[in-house]
Amino acid sequence: MLRLTVKHGLRANSQLAATRNPDASSYVQQLESEWEGAKPFTELPGPTRWQLFRGFQKGGEYHQLGMDDVMRLYKKQFGDICLIPGLFGMPSTVFTFNVETFEKVYRTEGQWPVRGGAEPVIHYRNKRKDEFFKNCMGLFGNGAEWGKNRSAVNPVLMQHRNVAIYLKPMQRVNRQFVNRIREIRDKESQEVPGDFMNTINHLTFESVATVALDRELGLLREANPPPEASKLFKNIEVLMDSFFDLGVRPSLYRYIPTPTYKKFSRAMDEIFDTCSMYVNQAIERIDRKSSQGDSNDHKSVLEQLLQIDRKLAVVMAMDMLMGGVDTTSTAISGILLNLAKNPEKQQRLREEVLSKLTSLHSEFTVEDMKSLPYLRAVIKESLRLYPVTFGNARSAGADVVLDGYRIPKGTKLLMTNSFLLKDDRLYPRAKEFIPERWLRRKDDDKSDVLMNKDLNAFIYLPFGFGPRMCVGKRIVDLEMELTVANLVRNFHIEYNYSTEKPYKCRFLYKPNIPLKFKFTDLKY
Q: Other C-beta atoms within 10 Å of 160: how many?
A: 8
With residue 325 as reference, give the H or E element that holds it: none
Q: Which of 102, 177, 465, 495 binds ligand HEM (CB under 6 A)?
A: 465
Q: CB 424 → ligand HEM: shortest distance, Å?
A: 24
Q: Which of 218, 464, 502, 511 binds ligand HEM (CB under 6 A)?
A: 464
Strand order in the sheet with 391-395: 81-84, 93-96, 412-416, 391-395
328 sits near ligand HEM (criterion: CB under 6 A)? yes
Q: Which stretch binds ligand HEM (CB under 6 A): 93-101, 170-178, 440-448, 462-470?
A: 462-470
Is residue 371 classed exposed, middle or buried when 0-12, 13-18 and 19+ CB atoms within 10 A define those classes?
Answer: exposed
Residues in the chain: 524
384 sits near ligand HEM (criterion: CB under 6 A)? no
470 sits near ligand HEM (criterion: CB under 6 A)? yes
Residue nearer to ligand HEM on the CB measure, 242 or 395: 395
Strands 93-96 and 391-395: unpaired
What is the rounded CA–CA span in Å between residue 99 and residue 456? 7
Q: Which stretch binds ligand HEM (CB under 6 A): 47-55, 273-281, 327-335, 405-413?
A: 327-335
Question: Residue 422 in 3-state DSSP?
Answer: helix
Q: Other C-beta atoms within 10 Å of 231: how many?
A: 15
Q: CB 330 → ligand HEM: shortest distance, Å?
A: 7
| Closest C-alpha to 391, from 412, 374, 373, 370 | 412
Q: What are phi and psi of 94, to 5 degrees?
A: -90, 125
Positions in 304-323 near ligand HEM (CB under 6 A) = 319-320, 323
475 sits near ligand HEM (criterion: CB under 6 A)? yes
List Cα–Cα distances, 113 to 5, 72, 143, 247, 296, in angstroms: 18, 27, 7, 19, 36
503 sits near ligand HEM (criterion: CB under 6 A)? no
Residue nearer to ligand HEM on the CB measure, 202 or 468: 468
Q: CB 147 → ligand HEM: shortest distance, Å?
A: 9
Q: CB 421 → ligand HEM: shortest distance, Å?
A: 13
Is 275 flagged in the annotation as binding? no
Positions in 330-369 near ligand HEM (CB under 6 A) = 331
List Cα–Cα distances, 341 to 185, 190, 194, 333, 432, in angstroms: 19, 17, 17, 12, 10
Query: Nearest 10 degrees: CA dihedral of 27, 29, 32, 36?
Result: -140
462 sits near ligand HEM (criterion: CB under 6 A)? yes
Q: 415 forms bridges with which residues in the sheet?
A: 96, 392
209 sits near ligand HEM (criterion: CB under 6 A)? no
**Diameter of the chain by CA atoms?**
78
482 sits near ligand HEM (criterion: CB under 6 A)? no
Q: Which of 56, 419, 463, 497 binds ligand HEM (CB under 6 A)?
A: 463
Q: Which stretch binds ligand HEM (CB under 6 A): 193-201, 233-241, 326-334, 485-493?
A: 326-334
Q: Which of 412, 468, 489, 518 binds ligand HEM (CB under 6 A)?
A: 468
Q: CB 61 → ligand HEM: shortest distance, Å?
A: 28
What is the rounded CA–CA span in Å between residue 489 and residue 524? 10
214 sits near ligand HEM (criterion: CB under 6 A)? no
List Cα–Cα distances, 426 to 108, 280, 384, 429, 476, in angstroms: 25, 50, 12, 9, 27
Q: Which stretch binds ligand HEM (CB under 6 A): 129-137, 384-392, 443-451, 512-520?
A: 384-392
Angle at 467 between CA 462 and CA 470, to 5 degrees: 35
Q: Which of 81, 313, 398, 471 binds ligand HEM (CB under 6 A)?
A: 471
Residue nearer to ligand HEM on the CB measure, 14 or 418: 418
Positions in 96-135 near ligand HEM (CB under 6 A) = 115
Residue nearer to ligand HEM on the CB measure, 4 or 203: 203
Q: Which stretch binds ligand HEM (CB under 6 A): 164-172, 261-269, 324-332, 338-346?
A: 324-332
Q: CB 272 → ligand HEM: shortest distance, Å?
A: 16
Residue nearer to ligand HEM on the CB measure, 46 or 472: 472
389 sits near ligand HEM (criterion: CB under 6 A)? yes
DSSP secondary structure letters along 208-271: HHHHHTSS--STTT-SS--HHHHHHHHHHHHHHHHHHHHHTS---TTTS--HHHHHHHHHHHHH
Find the helix packing angle between 373-385 and 326-341, rounded to 10°: 100
Q: CB 79 → ligand HEM: shortest distance, Å?
A: 25
324 sits near ligand HEM (criterion: CB under 6 A)? yes
Residue nearer to ligand HEM on the CB measure, 328 or 338: 328
Positions in 419-448 near ligand HEM (CB under 6 A) = none
Residue nearer to ligand HEM on the CB measure, 28 or 267: 267
With residue 205 as reference, give the H or E element that holds it: helix 196-212
Distance of CA 54 to the CA centre of its chain: 31
Number of residues that bind ligand HEM (CB under 6 A): 26
327 sits near ligand HEM (criterion: CB under 6 A)? yes
Report H helices in 295-372. 301-308, 310-324, 326-341, 343-356, 366-370
Which residues neighbour 28 within 8 Å (Cβ) at sequence distance 6 or greater? Answer: 11, 14, 15, 18
Q: Which segments are annotated as binding site for heme?
A: 470
Annotated binding site: 470
Residues that bind ligand HEM (CB under 6 A): 115, 139, 150, 208, 211, 319-320, 323-324, 327-328, 331, 388-389, 392, 462-465, 468-472, 475-476
